Amino acid sequence: MREEVSLEENGLVMVMVDIDTSETARKMLGRMAECPHLVWMSAVKDNCQRAICLFVLPRDKVWWAMMLSERPQVISAESAIATVLEHPQPDRVTLNRAKSPDGSVPCGSDCVACPQYRIRCRGCPASRFHLVDFPLEA
């Protein structure tokens, strides 16, 4: 299922990641391909150990992408730099909102083991761990 979302109502975040080997980079890019928040990603042409990802997240979940700077291992990276982008054009994008066939998290993250799960995060919307109406701490 694909869904068009407004960038005025959501946050657009660019994350640049460094990965230890080009093989790890290929694996990470493959895992992230089904992320329900991913707009675009690519390896950097002359440096296959660096990738750039654009994520669209609800404004109350932008912290997740920013957290990658502190915990890049969440996406198998050695380091990551995240920044929120302002005034993007076009102002709407289409995201893949399909559920994972087996209910797993497409990128391989472990929602249940994450310290933010059920506190600041309802889990991946593509997985069985997504808690649609679960109240989060303020």
Which residue bears the tokens 């309802």?
Answer: 122
Q: How confident is the model at residue 47 (pLDDT cuts 50, 70, 90)?
A: low
CATH code linked to domain 2-96: 3.30.70.920
Q: How confident is the model at residue 41 (pLDDT cuts 50, 70, 90)?
A: confident
Mean pLDDT calculated for residue range 4-11: 90
- Counting every residue written for the chain, the total comes to 138
Which pLDDT belongs to residue 23? 80
- Give how far Cα 4 sits from Cα of 37, 47, 108, Å: 12, 32, 25
Tokens at 100, concatenated: 């994972």
Rounded Cα distance between 30 and 82, Å, is: 20
Rounded Cα distance between 37 and 19, Å, is: 21
Q: Tell me: pLDDT of 42 over 60.
A: yes
Which tops the pLDDT comparison, 40 or 22? 40
Q: Tell me: pLDDT of 138 over 60.
A: no
Residues 6+ apart with CB under 8 A from 69: 80, 81, 82
Helix (H) or strand (E) holding 95: strand 92-96
For the stretch 82-137, pLDDT in tens is 999 998 888 899 888 788 888 888 888 888 998 888 888 888 888 899 888 766 66
Give Cα 110 to chain centroid, integer Å: 13
- Give how far Cα 108 sits from Cα of 11, 46, 98, 121, Å: 23, 27, 16, 16
Tokens at 67, concatenated: 């957290």
Q: Tell me: pLDDT of 19 over 60.
A: yes
Under DSSP, the state recorded for 30 is H
Does the predicted model carry a pTM greater than 0.95?
no
Rounded Cα distance between 85 and 71, Å, is: 20
